[in-house]
């Protein structure tokens, strides 16, 4: 049934994955050399002011957008598979692995950006970094709710 709590969880996962695409993920600044590295879902941007010139470099991180889009689409598709709860649980588990890969890629790109600035100070994780973690948690809550529905149906079948 579409009015179950797992529908809310899966819808929130889809919304969070879409918002992830438009928020900054990580940023690092060096005040002395005026270097800045910013990671978003679309690119890893490096900028440096040297004298009056501003040098900018951009590395694509479009893989983050692709995986977030797949996770969002899979979450929406999973909502409408309510008649086949076993398939729904498998799709939620696959979506969990997609979001885990998304988190690993965020860390990979953060490490790439960390190498661009020579000063070993730490960067700051922005709001966009925590969104996949929250979506991952909501996805696991959805799986738990789907499993409890499946257990309820199986227990009622045993009584017949």
pLDDT in tens, 83-133: 898 999 999 999 999 999 999 999 999 888 888 887 767 778 889 999 999
Please tell me the distance from the alpha carbon of residue 104 to that of residue 152, in angstroms, as a whole number: 36
Chain segment 26-69, per-residue pLDDT in tens: 998 887 778 889 999 999 999 888 777 888 889 999 999 999 99
Residue 81 lies in a domain: yes
Beta-carbon contacts of 120 under 8 Å, excluding residues fewer than 6 positions away, are: none
Q: Which two tokens stand for residue 136?
A: 């991952």
Residue range of the domain that includes 100: 5-25+62-153
Tell me if 78 is assigned to some domain.
yes
Report the number of distinct structural domains present in the chain: 1
C-alpha separations of 8 from 5, 33, 45, 146 in Å:
5, 47, 35, 12
Q: Has residue 74 been placed in a domain?
A: yes
Token pair in block for residue 20: 């992830």
**Is 70 among the domain residues?**
yes
Residue 13 lies in a domain: yes
């Amino acid at each position: 049934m579409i009015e179950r709590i797992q529908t809310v969880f899966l819808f929130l996962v889809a919304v969070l994955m879409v918002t992830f695409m438009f928020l900054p993920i990580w940023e690092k600044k060096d005040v002395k050399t005026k270097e800045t590295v910013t990671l978003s879902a679309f690119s890893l941007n490096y900028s440096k002011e040297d004298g009056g010139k501003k040098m900018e470099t951009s590395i694509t991180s479009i893989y983050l957008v692709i995986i977030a889009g797949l996770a969002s689409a899979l979450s929406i598709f999973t909502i409408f598979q309510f008649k086949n709860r076993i398939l729904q649980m498998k799709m939620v588990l696959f979506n969990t692995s997609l979001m885990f890969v998304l988190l690993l890629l965020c860390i990979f790109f953060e490490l790439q950006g960390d190498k661009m600035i020579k000063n070993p100070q730490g960067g700051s994780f922005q709001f966009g970094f925590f969104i996949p973690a929250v979506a991952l948690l909501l996805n696991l809550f959805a799986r738990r709710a789907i499993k409890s529905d499946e257990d309820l149906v199986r227990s009622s079948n045993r009584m017949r």
